[in-house]
Structure 1
Amino acid sequence: MTVTEARKSQQMPLLTLTAMVVGSMVGAGVFSLPRNFAQATGVFGAIIAWTIAGVGMLMLAFVFQTLAVRKPELDAGVYAYAKAGFGEFPGFFSAFGYWASACVGNVSYWVLIKSTLGTVIPGLGEGNTVLAVAISAVGVWAFHYMITRGVKEAAAINRIVTIAKLVPILTFVVILAVTLKAGVFADNFWGGTEPSAGALFEQVRSTMLVTVFVFLGVEGASVYSRYARKRSDVGRATVLGFLSVLALFASVTLLSYGAAGKDDLSGLRQPSMMGVLESVVGTWGSVFIGVGLIVSVLGAYLAWTLMAAEVLFVAAKDDDMPRFLKRENHQGVPIAALVMTSTLITLVLAVTVFSDDAFTFTLKLCSSLSLIPYLLAAGYALRIGVRGETYEHDRGARGKEVAIAALAVLYTAFLIFAAGIEFLLLSFIVYAPGTVLFVMARREQGRRVFSAGELALFVLAVVLAVLGVIGLATGLIVI
C-alpha cells in the first residue's frame, strides 16, 4: 500500500467524523446537570442558558477551527495562540491555566465516582470524606503508575468508554421523554420565583460555569480535520456534532424538570441523573446510570491525565516551561510532567475535604481556570482578523471570521463576569504560584525574568491571589 493509499484508508466520512466530535465532548459533567441546573434556575432560565452557551461555545469551536487553518505552524496547543498574540507571559499563564484546569477537572471525576459509590458505601459520603479522598488518592497514583508503564492509547478501552457514556444518557432521555409529567414541568417553568428580568438574569448567570464544564474540550473538534475525506466535512461535522451534544445536554436538563419538583432535584446527591431516573423507574435506573458513569469517567480520567501531562511537556519543549518537564522515561512517557499532574490532582483532592459541595466546587474552579486560555485564544483570532493577517488571498472570509471571533471574545468575557469574583480569586491562588515555573524557564535561558509589562501582570496576579487567600481565611469565600 502506498502512502497515499494509506492516508485514504484512514479518512473518515461525515457521519464517522461527527461521531468523533460527539465522543470528544460528552464527558462526566452531563451526569450532574439535573441538580446543578435545578439549584440555579427553572425551565425558562435553562432554555436561555443553553441557548447562550450553545451560541458561545459554537463560536469558540469555530475560532479554534479557524486558527488551526490560519496558523497551522502554531501546533503546540491552545496556549500557543495566547503566546503568539499577547506575549510569552500571557502564553505561559494560558498553558499553566489549561493544565491546572485539566487537573481540577480530573478531581471532579474522583469526587463523582466516590459520590456514586457512596450510595452503597456510606463512609464515602458525597465524595469528599477523608475515606473518599484517601481512596481517590490511591487511585490517582495507581493510574499514574499504569501510565508510566506506557499505557497511552487503547482503542478497545475507548470504544467501551464511548458506549458506556452514551447508552445510559440516551436511555435516560428516552425514558424521561415518555414519562414526562406536564404539570410538574409547568410548575418548574419559572424556577420558583416571581417572573422578572433581574431574577432571570441572575438565574442564567449562575448556570454559566456549569455549561462551560460540560463543553470543555470543544477545541478538540478541530483536531480531527486531517481525517476528513473532504475539507468541507470538517465544518459540517463540527456543527452537526456540536448541535447533537447541545441537544443531548439540553434534553437531560429540561426533561428532568418533568420528573420531579425543582426543590427535589436540587436536593439530589451527585451524580443527580441517578436520582432522577430512580424516581421514575426504581432502583435499577440508579444502578444503570452509576455503572455507566464509573466506566465512562475512568476512561475519561486516563485520557485527560495524559492530555494534562502533554500540555506541560510540549510547553517545555518550546522553552515556555523549565527543562526538567521535558524528561521522559524509557516508555516515552513525559514522566516529570506526569508527576506534577498527579501531585496537583492529589492536592486539590485534599482540599475537597473542606468543601460543602465538592463536586460543584471542582466543577466551577475547573471552568474558571479554563476561561483565560479560551479568552486569549479568541482574542488572538479577533486580532489577526482585524489586522487582515493571513487574509491576503481570502478576503471574502474575513468579515465572517472577525464576527465569529468577536462573539467568542464577548462570550468568554461574559463567562469571567458570570463566574464572579469568588472563583476569579480562587483561580489566581493557583495561577500566581505557578509563575515559579516561568521564572525557572527564563533563568535557564539566561534571560531577564520579567519585562516591565510582565512584571505588572505578575504583581496583579499576586494581589488577586492574596485577596483570595484572605477571602478564604475570613470566610468571605466559601468552598
Structure 2
Amino acid sequence: MTATPTAQKLSLFALTAMVVGSMVGSGIFSLPRTFGIATGPFGAILAWCIAGGGMYTMARVFQTLAERKPDLDAGVYAYAKAGFGDYPGFLSALGYWTGSCIGNVSYWVLIKSTLGAFFPVFGDGNTVTAIIVASIGIWLFHFMILRGVQQAAAINTIVTIAKIVPILIFIVILAFAFKADLFRTNFWGGEGMPDKGLFDQIRATMLVTVFVFLGIEGASVYSRYAKERSHVGIATIMGFAVVTSLMVLVTMLPYAVLPRAEIADARQPSMATVLEAVVGHWGAVFVSIGLLVSVLGAYLAWSLICAEVLSAAGRTRDMPRVFGTENANKVPAAALWLTNIVVQLFVISTYWSRDAFALMLNLTSVMNLIPFFLVAAYGLLLVKRGETYEKSPGARRRDLIFTGIAVVYTLFLIYAAGMKYLLLSAILYAPGTVLYFWARLQQKARIFTSIDWVIFIAAVIGAAVGIHGLATGYITI
C-alpha cells in the first residue's frame, strides 16, 4: 500500500521527540545506583567520555548514512544488509528486534517494581500480580497502536515533554543541594567501597550506557515517515545532545549529596531514593510518577520501532512477507502482533528470574551490539570505497574518522559485555534463523552462501554452549 503525500509524515520536532522518547526510558532512572556500584565521580567522568564519545560517532554514522543512502529505510537493518548480504542483514534485524522486545519487558518489570515500593503485591516486578497487570498493559498499547502510527507518534511527543520535566526538576534540586566537600570525598572512589582497577570500573558501566543510549537510531528507523529526509540526521544529533546532557547530570549530581556507599545501596529506581534523601518522602513519590510516565512513553516509542523494523524486513522479503503487510490505518499489524506475543512470553518468563530487570537490561544491550557494529562497519565500508563521496573528498576524510572510531567502540562493547551474555544472545539468534529459512523458501532463493554457513554454524555452537551452561548452572540468570 502507498501512503498519500500528506499521510503519516512526521515533523523535525516529532522525529526528535522519537529519539528523546526512545532514549529516555527506564535506564536514566537507574543510573545513580548503577554507577554508584561501579565507580566514583572520576571513573564516571571517564566512562561518560568513552560512552558519549563512542555513541556520538554512532549518531554521526546514522546521520551520514541517512543523508548518503536516502533509499534505505529502517536503517539499522537495511544498512547491515546493504553492506554484508542477506543473512547478516537478517541477523541485524532479528537482533535489533529481539533486543527491543526484551527492552520493552524491562520497562514493565521496572514499572511494577516501582509500584512495589508502595504496593507490596507487585514485589520486584516479577510476581504473578505484576505479570497479570503488565500483560493487560501490553495489549492496551497494542490495540491503541493498531489505530494508527501518526496518532501514536503524536501521543509520544506529548509524553516525551511530560517525562522530561521531573528529570529537570531532579537536576535543579540536586544542583542547589550540591556539597563540594562530599563530592571531593567521593571523587576517587569514596569510603566503604571495594577497591577495583579503573579499567574494571569503567567496563562495569558499559552495558548500562549502551542500554540508556538505545533509541539514538529512533529517527533513522522511522526515516520513511520524515517530512524532509535531512530531518533524520538533525533529529538524531539533537536528541543525542539533549539526552546525553541529562544522563551525565543525573549520574554526577548524586555524588554531591550522598556518600557513594549509600548511592550504591539505593533501591531502584535510585533517582527516587536520592531525591528522597534530599527533600523527603515526596521526592520518592514525585520521581516514581515521573518514571511511570517516562517508561510508558518509552514503551510506546519502542513498540513502534519494534514493529517498524520487523515490517521493513518483511517488505523486502528478508522476513516472511506477512510481516510487511499493513492494516487500513497503515500500521504493520502482523509485525505488531508477533512483537507483542514475544514481549508477552518474556514477561511471563520473568517469574523465574532472580533479578529480572538487570537480566533484561543487559540482554537488551547485548542483542543490539551486533546490529550497531554492522551499521558502523557499513559506514566505514562506504567511506573506504568512496561511494557517494565523489564530490566531497573533505567529508570522506571526516567520516573515515567517525566511522573508524564507531567500529572500534562497538567492538570494545562486545568485549566488555562478556561471554555470558554473548552466549545468551546466541540462544536467541540461532533458533530465530527459522524465520530466515521461511522467507528464503517463499522466494525460492538460495538459503546460505559459504560465509553465511560459517556464521550460522557459529551461532548454533554458541547456542548449544549457552543452553549447556544454563542446564549445568555455569550460566545463571
Say whether the fold is shared (TM-score over 0.5).
yes
Looking at structure 2, the residues matched to 63 and 299 of structure 1 have their Cα atoms a distance apart, in angstroms, of 26
Residue type of the alignment partner of 1:43 = P
C-alpha displacement at 1:295, in angstroms? 1.7
Looking at structure 2, the residues matched to 404 and 431 of structure 1 have their Cα atoms a distance apart, in angstroms, of 29
User: What SS does structure 2 have at the residue aligned with 1:78?
Assistant: helix
Relative to structure 1, the CA distance from residue 20 to residue 373 in structure 2 (aligned partners, 3 Å threshold; closer, same or farther) is closer
C-alpha displacement at 1:415, in angstroms? 0.5
Match of 1:43 among 21, 41, 52: 41
Q: Which deviates more from structure 2 when the two are superposed, residues 290-299 or residues 239-248?
A: 239-248
Looking at structure 2, the residues matched to 40 and 295 of structure 1 have their Cα atoms a distance apart, in angstroms, of 28
Q: Which residue of 2 aligns with 1:56?
A: 54
Say whether residues 1:370 and 2:339 are aligned partners. Answer: no
Q: Which residue of 1 aligns with 2:207?
A: 209
Please give the root-mean-square deviation of Cα atoms over the aligned residues, in Å.
Answer: 2.8
C-alpha displacement at 1:198, in angstroms? 7.0
C-alpha displacement at 1:192, in angstroms? 4.7
Looking at structure 2, the residues matched to 17 and 263 of structure 1 have their Cα atoms a distance apart, in angstroms, of 40
C-alpha displacement at 1:235, in angstroms? 6.7
Q: Which deviates more from structure 2 when the two are superposed, residues 296-305 or residues 417-426?
A: 296-305
Looking at structure 1, the residues matched to 194 and 115 of structure 2 have their Cα atoms a distance apart, in angstroms, of 40
Q: Which residue of 2 aligns with 1:390?
A: 388
> Do the aligned residues in 2 keep the contact of 1:95 with 1:312 (CA within 8 Å)?
yes
Q: Which residue of 2 aligns with 1:3?
A: none
Q: Which deviates more from structure 2 when the two are superposed, residues 326-335 or residues 420-429?
A: 326-335
Match of 1:307 among 290, 305, 308: 305
Matches within 5 A, 1:364-443: 364-443=362-441
Looking at structure 2, the residues matched to 107 and 89 of structure 1 have their Cα atoms a distance apart, in angstroms, of 27
Looking at structure 1, the residues matched to 314 and 279 of structure 2 have their Cα atoms a distance apart, in angstroms, of 52
Q: Which deviates more from structure 2 when the two are superposed, residues 151-160 or residues 262-271?
A: 151-160
User: What SS does structure 1 have at the residue aligned with 2:256?
Assistant: coil
> Do the aligned residues in 2 keep the contact of 1:274 with 1:287 (CA within 8 Å)?
yes
C-alpha displacement at 1:150, in angstroms? 4.1
Q: Which residue of 2 aligns with 1:123?
A: 121
C-alpha displacement at 1:334, in angstroms? 2.2
Match of 1:359 among 347, 357, 360: 357
Looking at structure 2, the residues matched to 43 and 142 of structure 1 have their Cα atoms a distance apart, in angstroms, of 41
Relative to structure 1, the CA distance from residue 126 to residue 181 in structure 2 (aligned partners, 3 Å threshold; closer, same or farther) is farther
Residue type of the alignment partner of 2:85 = G
1:317-354 per-residue CA deviation (whole Å, 9 max, x = no partner) reads: 10100122234344443222112111111222223223
Looking at structure 1, the residues matched to 133 and 391 of structure 2 have their Cα atoms a distance apart, in angstroms, of 57
Relative to structure 1, the CA distance from residue 156 to residue 404 in structure 2 (aligned partners, 3 Å threshold; closer, same or farther) is closer
C-alpha displacement at 1:90, in angstroms? 0.2
Residue type of the alignment partner of 2:398 = K
Q: Which residue of 2 aligns with 1:448?
A: 446
> Do the aligned residues in 1 keep the contact of 2:67 with 2:233 (CA within 8 Å)?
no
Match of 2:264 among 254, 263, 266: 266
Report how many aligned residue pairs link the two structures.
469
Q: Which residue of 1 aligns with 2:188?
A: 190
Looking at structure 2, the residues matched to 422 and 447 of structure 1 have their Cα atoms a distance apart, in angstroms, of 35
Match of 1:250 among 248, 259, 264: 248
Match of 2:146 among 141, 145, 148: 148
Q: Which residue of 1 aligns with 2:97?
A: 99
> Do the aligned residues in 1 keep the contact of 2:17 with 2:160 (CA within 8 Å)?
no
1:58-110 per-residue CA deviation (whole Å, 9 max, x = no partner) reads: 00000011111111121243111111111100000000111111111111110
Say whether residues 1:295 and 2:330 are aligned partners. Answer: no
Relative to structure 1, the CA distance from residue 282 to residue 122 in structure 2 (aligned partners, 3 Å threshold; closer, same or farther) is same
> Do the aligned residues in 2 keep the contact of 1:317 with 1:326 (CA within 8 Å)?
yes
> Do the aligned residues in 2 keep the contact of 1:115 with 1:269 (CA within 8 Å)?
no
> Do the aligned residues in 2 keep the contact of 1:104 with 1:365 (CA within 8 Å)?
yes
Looking at structure 2, the residues matched to 434 and 441 of structure 1 have their Cα atoms a distance apart, in angstroms, of 12
Relative to structure 1, the CA distance from residue 23 to residue 123 in structure 2 (aligned partners, 3 Å threshold; closer, same or farther) is closer
> Do the aligned residues in 1 keep the contact of 2:87 with 2:452 (CA within 8 Å)?
yes
Relative to structure 1, the CA distance from residue 35 to residue 299 in structure 2 (aligned partners, 3 Å threshold; closer, same or farther) is same
User: What SS does structure 1 have at the residue aligned with 2:209?
Assistant: helix
> Do the aligned residues in 2 keep the contact of 1:61 with 1:221 (CA within 8 Å)?
no
Matches within 5 A, 1:467-478: 467-478=465-476
Q: Which deviates more from structure 2 when the two are superposed, residues 289-298 or residues 81-90?
A: 289-298
Say whether residues 1:132 and 2:130 are aligned partners. Answer: yes
Residue type of the alignment partner of 2:366 = S
> Do the aligned residues in 2 keep the contact of 1:168 with 1:289 (CA within 8 Å)?
yes
Q: Is there any run of 5+ residues in structure 2 with no aligned partner, and where? A: 1-5
Residue type of the alignment partner of 2:49 = T
Looking at structure 1, the residues matched to 27 and 417 of structure 2 have their Cα atoms a distance apart, in angstroms, of 17
User: How high is the sequence identity, in percent, across the aligned residues?
Assistant: 56
> Do the aligned residues in 1 keep the contact of 2:14 with 2:154 (CA within 8 Å)?
no
Residue type of the alignment partner of 1:326 = G
C-alpha displacement at 1:26, in angstroms? 2.6
Relative to structure 1, the CA distance from residue 371 to residue 188 in structure 2 (aligned partners, 3 Å threshold; closer, same or farther) is same
> Do the aligned residues in 1 keep the contact of 2:156 with 2:300 (CA within 8 Å)?
no
C-alpha displacement at 1:16, in angstroms? 9.4
Matches within 5 A, 1:10-21: none
C-alpha displacement at 1:17, in angstroms? 8.3
TM-score between the two structures when normalised by the length of structure 1 = 0.90
User: What SS does structure 1 have at the residue aligned with 2:38?
Assistant: coil
Relative to structure 1, the CA distance from residue 135 to residue 11 in structure 2 (aligned partners, 3 Å threshold; closer, same or farther) is closer
> Do the aligned residues in 1 keep the contact of 2:156 with 2:301 (CA within 8 Å)?
no
User: What SS does structure 1 have at the residue aligned with 2:275?
Assistant: helix
Residue type of the alignment partner of 2:54 = G
Looking at structure 1, the residues matched to 301 and 22 of structure 2 have their Cα atoms a distance apart, in angstroms, of 10
> Do the aligned residues in 2 keep the contact of 1:123 with 1:131 (CA within 8 Å)?
yes
Q: Which deviates more from structure 2 when the two are superposed, residues 417-426 or residues 143-152?
A: 143-152
> Do the aligned residues in 2 keep the contact of 1:277 with 1:286 (CA within 8 Å)?
yes
Looking at structure 2, the residues matched to 41 and 79 of structure 1 have their Cα atoms a distance apart, in angstroms, of 35
Q: Which residue of 1 aligns with 2:29?
A: 31
Residue type of the alignment partner of 1:130 = V
Looking at structure 1, the residues matched to 419 and 409 of structure 2 have their Cα atoms a distance apart, in angstroms, of 17
Looking at structure 1, the residues matched to 136 and 194 of structure 2 have their Cα atoms a distance apart, in angstroms, of 49
